[in-house]
C-alpha cells in the first residue's frame, strides 16, 4: 500500500481544497474549504460558471448574500463527490462578533437545507476566538455542527471542547512557520512544534474524555502528516495527497487513546479571563490567530470585488 492508503487505516482523510477533480482523484471522506481556497477556485475557468450563476440568479441581493450562495453552491457540488461532510466558513470579519457569527451560521445552514442538504453533512467553520467559541456553543445546541479553525494553542482547544463543538482544526504548518522564522531552525518529524501541538491537544481530549474531533490542518510536508497518523482526521492539500499516493514507505500509528491516557497533562479550567491571558502569553498562538484572521478578511474582500465586477 502507498502512504495514503496506509494512513487511511488509522485516520479519516479530508481534502483541503475547492478543486472537485482532486476530490474525485483521492476519494477523501470529507472536504474543507475556506475563503482563500474558494477565491483561488473561482479564478479558474472550470469553476467560474458557479460564481457567474450565483450572481445571475441572485442579482437583486447584496454582495454578501451572493457570496453566501456561492459558498453553499461549492459545498453542494462537493457533497455530490464525497460521502461525508463539507466545511463552509463564516465571514472572518465576524471573528469578534458572537451574535453576527450565530446569525451567519444559521443563514448558511438554512441555504444548505433549502438546497436539500441535511445539516449533519455540513460543518460551519468559525475562528477560534473567545467570541467565535461562544457562537459555536449556541449553534451546536441547535444541531448546527461547527469546525473551529485558526486554532494554534491548547487554551483555544480546551475552550472549544468545553463548549461542546464537533471538531477543531489545529494548524500544523503555520505553527511550524512561526517557530522556523523565530528560531532559524528546521524541524522534522516528532520535533516539529506544529506536530507536537496537535499531539498535545489529541492527548488532552482523549485523556479527559472529550468527544470533540481533532483534525490536523495546514501541512507543509508529508513528514508532518505521517507523524500524526492516528489523529481523528487530517485535512490535506491535493499536492501532499499526491505525494503520499506516490510513496510506499511504511506508516505507523503515532497517536492513540492508550498513549493519551498515560500522558501527564493536567486539566485546565478556563473562564474568559484565563483564556485571554493564556492566549496572550503564547506569542505564537496570538500572533498567528491575528494574522490568520487578517488574511481571511483580505481574501473575503477580494472575493467581494470579483462578485461586484460581475454584477456590473
Does the active-site annotation cover 125?
A: yes
- Compute the distance between CA of residue 233 and CA of residue 219 in angstroms, rounded to an integer: 13
- Compute the distance between CA of residue 312 and CA of residue 305 in angstroms, rounded to an integer: 11
- Compute the distance between CA of residue 182 and CA of residue 304 in angstroms, rounded to an integer: 34
Catalytically annotated residue among 8, 80, 104, 125: 125
What would the DSSP string read from start to end of the chain?
A: --HHHHHTTTSEEEEESS-HHHHHHH--SEEE--HHHHHHHHTSTTTHHHHHHHHHHTTTS-HHHHHHHHHHHHHHHHHTT-SS-EEEEPPGGGTT-HHHHHHHHHHHHHHHHHTT--GGGEEEEEE-SHHHHHHHHHHHHTT--EEEEEE-SHHHHHHHHHTT-SEEEEBHHHHHHHHHHHH-----GGG-HHHHHHHHHHHHHHHTT---EEEEB--SSHHHHHTTTTSSEEEE-HHHHHHHHT----------HHHHHT--PPPP---HHHHHHHHHH-HHHHHHHHHHHHHHHHHHHHHHHHHHHHH-
Active site positions, annotated:
125
Amino acid at each position: 500500500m502507498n502512504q495514503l492508503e496506509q494512513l487511511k487505516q488509522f485516520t479519516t482523510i479530508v481534502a483541503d481544497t475547492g478543486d472537485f477533480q482532486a476530490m474525485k482523484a483521492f476519494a477523501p471522506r470529507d472536504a474543507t474549504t475556506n475563503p482563500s481556497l474558494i477565491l483561488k477556485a473561482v479564478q479558474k475557468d472550470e469553476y467560474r460558471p458557479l460564481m457567474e450563476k450565483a450572481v445571475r440568479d441572485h442579482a437583486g441581493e447584496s454582495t454578501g448574500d451572493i457570496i453566501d450562495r456561492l459558498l453553499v453552491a461549492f459545498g453542494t457540488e462537493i457533497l455530490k463527490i464525497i460521502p461525508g461532510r463539507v466545511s463552509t466558513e463564516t465571514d472572518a470579519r465576524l471573528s469578534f462578533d458572537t451574535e453576527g457569527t450565530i446569525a451567519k451560521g444559521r443563514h448558511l445552514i438554512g441555504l444548505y437545507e433549502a438546497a436539500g442538504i441535511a445539516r449533519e453533512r455540513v460543518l460551519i467553520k468559525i475562528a477560534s476566538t473567545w467570541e467565535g467559541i461562544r457562537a459555536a456553543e449556541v449553534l451546536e445546541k441547535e444541531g448546527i455542527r461547527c469546525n473551529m479553525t485558526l486554532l494554534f494553542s491548547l487554551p483555544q482547544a480546551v475552550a472549544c471542547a468545553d463548549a461542546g463543538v464537533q471538531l477543531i482544526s489545529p494548524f500544523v504548518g503555520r505553527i511550524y512557520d512561526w517557530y522556523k522564522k523565530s528560531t532559524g531552525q528546521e524541524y522534522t518529524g516528532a520535533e516539529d512544534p506544529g506536530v507536537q501541538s496537535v499531539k498535545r491537544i489529541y492527548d488532552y481530549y482523549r485523556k479527559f474524555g472529550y468527544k470533540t474531533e481533532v483534525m490536523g490542518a495546514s501541512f507543509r510536508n508529508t513528514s508532518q502528516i505521517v507523524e500524526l497518523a492516528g489523529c481523528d482526521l487530517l485535512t490535506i492539500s491535493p499536492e501532499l495527497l499526491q505525494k503520499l499516493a506516490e510513496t510506499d514507505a511504511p506508516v505507523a500509528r503515532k497517536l492513540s487513546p492508550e498513549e493519551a491516557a498515560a500522558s501527564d497533562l493536567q486539566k485546565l479550567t478556563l473562564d474568559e479571563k484565563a483564556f485571554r491571558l493564556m492566549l496572550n502569553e503564547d506569542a505564537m498562538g496570538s500572533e498567528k490567530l491575528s494574522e490568520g484572521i487578517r488574511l481571511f478578511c483580505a481574501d473575503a474582500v477580494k472575493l467581494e470585488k470579483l462578485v461586484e465586477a460581475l454584477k456590473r
